[in-house]
Amino acid sequence: MSSFPLPDSAEPVIQYVASCELPTPWGEFVMHGFEEEGGREHVALTLGDVSDGQPVLARLHSECLTGDALFSLRCDCGFQLEAAMEAICKEGRGALLYLRQEGRGIGLINKIRAYKLQDGGADTVEANERLGFPADMRDFRIARHMLEHLGIGSVRVMTNNPRKLATLAAAGIDVAERVPLQVGRNPYNDRYLDTKAAKLGHMLSK
């Protein structure tokens, strides 16, 4: 099964809007706002000098309302978001791109439909496919434009998904290193994480 198929749509158009300070429990970031043609809004958080030409510790995080904001235990997204922000602050330099690609790109309402199918026994991949979607339909080309604006030429990506590295490279993003980010396993997301490993190739340990 192929994850992250390269999109055949036109190159996304994204425009920088504004930046501001964003204090968090882990440190003080600068938040940069971007607007994509069509209305989707994305943000990047940066800490330290990320435009000095050296590879930047980065997390390309796709939106997960349930995990990031509502503290769901069904996934590891919220745990990864917090761990990535903490890791960037400990390093003193890095970037987090928060991409509005809910539910691996299928949207919030379809994600709820997928959750309903999972409640009935389907795994995450089966649920997406029963709804007529691929396992993952995110487009990371928008991230390349955001990184270019920030002056970031190369990234050390916090991810457990080796397929994502190839997808980022195909989108024109220079990946210098994969940095594991394994947090948040619990009884509610055991099957979810096992499916990520078995069907999507994620490098996860029990």
Neighbours of 201 (CB within 10 A): 15
| 136 catalytic residue (yes or no) | yes
Residue 116 marked in a binding site = no
Partners of 19 in the β-ladder: 32
**The one catalytic residue among 8, 68, 130, 136:** 136
DSSP 142-181: HHHHHHHHHT---EEEE-S-HHHHHHHHHTT--EEEEE--
Residue 64 marked in a binding site = yes
Residue 61 marked in a binding site = yes
Pairwise CA distance, residues 14 & 21, whole Å: 21
Residue 24 marked in a binding site = no
Type of residue numbered 186: N
Which position has the token pair 């968090």? 24
Residue 62 marked in a binding site = yes
| 138 catalytic residue (yes or no) | yes
Residue 164 marked in a binding site = yes
Q: Residue 99 corresponds to which tokens in the numbers above?
A: 């991409």
Residue 195 marked in a binding site = no
- CA neighbor of 160 nearest in space, from 195, 189, 197, 188: 197
Residue 46 marked in a binding site = no
Q: Are 4 and 163 in contact (CB under 8 A)?
A: yes
**The one catalytic residue among 68, 138, 141, 144:** 138
Residue 196 marked in a binding site = no
- Secondary structure (3-state) at 195: helix
Type of residue numbered 85: M
Residue 124 marked in a binding site = yes
Q: Residue 58 corresponds to which tokens in the numbers above?
A: 């980065």
Residue 63 marked in a binding site = yes
Binding residues: 59-64, 75, 77, 80, 102-104, 124, 159, 164
Q: Could you tell me which residues are annotated as the binding site for Zn(2+)?
A: 64, 75, 77
Report the catalytic residues. Answer: 136, 138
The annotation places the binding site for GTP at 59-63, 80, 102-104, 124, 159, 164
